[in-house]
Amino acid sequence: MRLEEAGCEIVRVTVPKKEDAAVLGEIKRRSHLPLICDIHFDYKMALLALDQPIDKIRINPGNIGRLRSVSSGDPQAKSKGLPMRIGVNAGSLERELVEKYGFPCPPAMVESAFRYIEIAESGDSTGILWDNCPGARGTSRRCLCPVSQDSADSRSAARTMTHQLLAPEVGIDLDS
């Protein structure tokens, strides 16, 4: 309750170990705020987190390592009606894309993003949320927000993805 009184709108936690997943129910019991779980390095933690009363799951497939691991939790997320955010970060692009383009750049980020979109959607995904876009919480609305240390690269990749998707449900902030 103290988080809510302080004006927080979400509770976002990382789940690196089984023990962390085991306490998600207690965290949710103590707060009425949406509980969002970040998963890094081990997709099995996503599966454990999805067994708990969470509101959204965020994964970065680039640091999980195996492309097909991206959609492992998708059937569980779908059955619970939960959105799954899939992040594309310049710092964790697939090795072959960095080699292909010579460095982490907007075209490499776009190619990576479309690989993961294809994988997630092939599993009849509940919806892909690209980072924390306003209005996207708890829905299947798509919102793209690729991340790079260079904000111009982030904007360039986002613009390219928006133009290539041509989807009216895609929201993006091109000015940030």
Which tens digit of pLDDT belongs to each residue from 60-112?
Answer: 777 665 555 555 555 666 667 777 777 778 888 888 999 999 999 999 988 98
The answer to whether the CB of 81 falls within 8 A of the CB of 57 is: no
Q: 46 falls in which pLDDT band (50, 70, 90)? A: confident
Global confidence as pTM: 0.68
The reported pLDDT for the residue numbered 133 is: 45
The reported pLDDT for the residue numbered 22 is: 94
pLDDT tens digits, one per residue of 123-171: 554 445 444 444 444 444 445 567 788 888 888 887 887 777 655 444 4
Q: Which residues pair with 11 in a beta bridge?
A: 35
Q: 20 falls in which pLDDT band (50, 70, 90)? A: very high
Rounded Cα–Cα distance for residues 98 and 88 (Å): 13
Domain 2-165 coded CATH 3.20.20.20: yes
Can you state the angle between helices 106-122 and 151-165, rounded to 10 degrees?
50
The reported pLDDT for the residue numbered 25 is: 94
The reported pLDDT for the residue numbered 147 is: 79
The reported pLDDT for the residue numbered 105 is: 93
